[in-house]
A and B are shown apart, each in its own frame.
Chain A
Amino acid sequence: MMSTVLEVQDVASGYGEVQILWGVSLRLEEGKLTTLVGSNGVGKTTLLRTVTGLLRPWKGKVLFQGKDITRLPPHERANAGIALVPEGRQLFTDMTVAENLEMGAFSRRAIAHRRKNLERVFDLFPRLKERQQQKAGTLSGGEQQMLAVARGLMAEPEVLMIDELSLGLSPVLSLSLFETMRQLRAEGLTILLVEQNVHMALAISDYAYVLSEGRIWMEGPAREVAAREEIRQAYLGM
């Protein structure tokens, strides 16, 4: 039986007078890896900001586990189990790796699971374990991305949303992070992945949405979307 964890209904949003999203709807099914792809500047980050509450929608609703959370402030949404690994990582650069992970587990729901999650992220990213006392701002780009993902996992999320998993990372590290996503998906985590590398994203995902000019242009099982002629031409360069 499939159940929807998070649902975005007809959301419009933007900055100041500029409208970016023009009625976007999407659903995240429990335990599935969903991907949201689209060219630069179409509004992927804007959509994630609306889902986390950093941005208020102009119209439309965000439902989480069936409840309307459209008016909930971001920290309450985090307490409810929505975690975002933001674009540009947004680490606490003046704080240590260990402190960043501790802050990741700040919410009421996460604090009880802190031990278990810390072991888990150190398992996934042994590098971070070695660098626990280092300031996050002094980590390499790849290590920072590992920390950003790890901090998101520390939140004991019901939904983990990742904005640009592989941007700026070496192919080897990107591959290993995609592998991590697959592993988390196998463990039953619900994931929304926003990714520049459309090919990889479609390859590991269950379901895909393609955003174009602030609207969902196409959606479907990832394999079917990957096979569509328009997608192959526009995003996969084939």
Chain B
Amino acid sequence: MLAQILASLVDGILLGFVYGLAAMGLSLIWGVMRVINLSHGAIMALGMFGIYLTFTHLGLNPYLALLLLAPASLLFGFLVYGVAVHRIINAPYLSSLLATFAVNMMVIGIGTAVFTTSLYNVDFSLGTVRAGVLALPGTRLAAAAAAVLITAGLYLFLYRTRPGKAIRAVANNRAAAALMGIPPAQTLALSFGIGTLLAALAGGLITTFFPFTILSGSGYQSKSFVICVLGGLGNPLGALLGGLILGAMEGLIPIVLPVSWVPVVEFTLFVLILLIRPSGLLGART
């Protein structure tokens, strides 16, 4: 019994790293430009199909394919920003909700036309890693490691590079940043691109252990919302921690309740946190 609990917990936490990675994208975009990106899930689905296509048709190793997915999704993020977000960046929240929702519908619509809504999977395995009582799928370990690396990369970028610091400055005080000569539109586009990249990479990592459809993104998007509320919206590192908490819950809840209760518990928690601690368990940053 104890061994089972431990195994579920570790399994869930490993998954949580990937959830956290996805949520970081959502959180970053909110933190920098106060836009709730409702195309987040659709972009994760695009990431999934990106890995699927390169794996199935080009025979590319999924982890190598992530290196292609990264620039592609960054560019896609610039495009979405330019087309749908830039013009309404100073409008009330409802405008950006609707604009990103429209992008979501377009991506899902085109995706459904191309891929239908049937189930796909990437037939890739790294075997099983045994450690004591634990038997962990290699792909989950690799995905967690990749998520940690990408997070570290994000932090190095935000804290050590000039464009990264510019993003933090714009997030902190957009008008003051403009007074310093920081170009607002470029910086916002870059932030949106990076948020998109994080979502796509998380989607890509998920394909190495779960099957998916073009609609799968919406479930993960909801999880990202729960995680952002756990970790404090606008705080990317909090998002990673929130991801771990959610992952652990997903590992443990099925031991005591049927699996279908997982979202019920998650969203109960979501509402409770919103009511009791709206800044998030770990506190929001501006």
Contacts and interface: CB of A to CB of B under 8 A. Distances in A.
A84 interface: yes
Contact of A78 (B165, B168, B180): B180
B178 A93 contact: no
A68 interface: no
Looking at B165, B176, B180, the one whose CB has the most chain A CB atoms below 10 A away is B180
Contacts of B171: 94
Interface in B156-198: 162, 165-166, 168-169, 171-173, 175-184
B172 A78 contact: no
Contacts of A139: none
A103 B165 contact: yes
A95 B177 CA distance: 12
B180 A95 contact: no
Given A94-B286, A95-B165, A99-B165, A108 B172 contact: no
Contact of A75 (B165, B168, B173, B183): B183
Interface in A34-88: 52-54, 73-76, 78-79, 83-84, 86
B285 interface: yes
A95 B171 CA distance: 11
A190 interface: no
Contacts of B183: 75
Contacts of B184: 75
B178 A92 contact: no
A128 B177 CA distance: 20
Nearest to A136: B172
> Interface size class for chain A?
20 to 34
A90 interface: yes
A53 B183 CA distance: 13
B122 to A, nearest CB: 39
A150 interface: no
Contacts of A166: none
A188 B137 CA distance: 69
Interface of A: 52-54, 73-76, 78-79, 83-84, 86, 90-95, 99, 102-104, 106-108, 110, 151, 155
A86 B176 CA distance: 8
6 A-B pairs closest in CB distance:
A107-B181, A78-B181, A90-B176, A74-B178, A92-B172, A106-B180
28 contacts: A54-B179, A73-B178, A74-B175, A74-B179, A75-B179, A75-B180, A75-B181, A75-B183, A76-B181, A78-B178, A78-B180, A84-B179, A90-B175, A90-B176, A90-B179, A91-B176, A92-B169, A92-B177, A93-B172, A93-B286, A94-B171, A94-B172, A94-B286, A95-B165, A99-B168, A104-B180, A155-B180, A155-B181
B246 to A, nearest CB: 26
Nearest to B182: A106
Interface in B126-181: 162, 165-166, 168-169, 171-173, 175-181
B149 to A, nearest CB: 25
Contact of B182 (A52, A75, A84): A75
B286 to A, nearest CB: 6
Interface in B177-236: 177-184
A108 B181 CA distance: 8
A24 B179 CA distance: 22
B166 A103 contact: yes
Contacts of A73: 178
A99 B168 CA distance: 10
B181 A90 contact: no
Given A75-B182, A78-B181, 12 more contacts: A73-B178, A74-B175, A75-B180, A79-B181, A92-B173, A92-B177, A93-B172, A94-B168, A103-B180, A107-B181, A110-B181, A155-B180
